[in-house]
Amino acid sequence: MYGKSYMGIQRATFLIDSSGKIVRVWPKVKPEGHAEEVLEAVRALA
């Protein structure tokens, strides 16, 4: 905007288990197909 550079949108997903520990992190995710990938990881925890 007006010749200035900016960072833009950054998306990241954090999978947290029942004890509050971060199990997995997905940095720089794209919305397409990401939900299925996270769901598979959640099912693998159970």
Q: pLDDT tens digits for 13-43?
A: 999 999 999 999 999 999 899 999 999 999 9
Determine the pLDDT at residue 5. Answer: 87
Determine the pLDDT at residue 44. Answer: 94
Residue 20 lies in a domain: yes
Q: pTM score, two decimals?
A: 0.73
Name the strand (E) or helix (H) holding 43.
helix 34-45
Domains: count for the chain: 1
Segments forming the whole domain that contains residue 22: 15-45
Residue 9 lies in a domain: no
Contacts of 22 (CB under 8 A, 6+ apart): 14, 15, 16
Residue 36 lies in a domain: yes
Determine the pLDDT at residue 31. Answer: 87
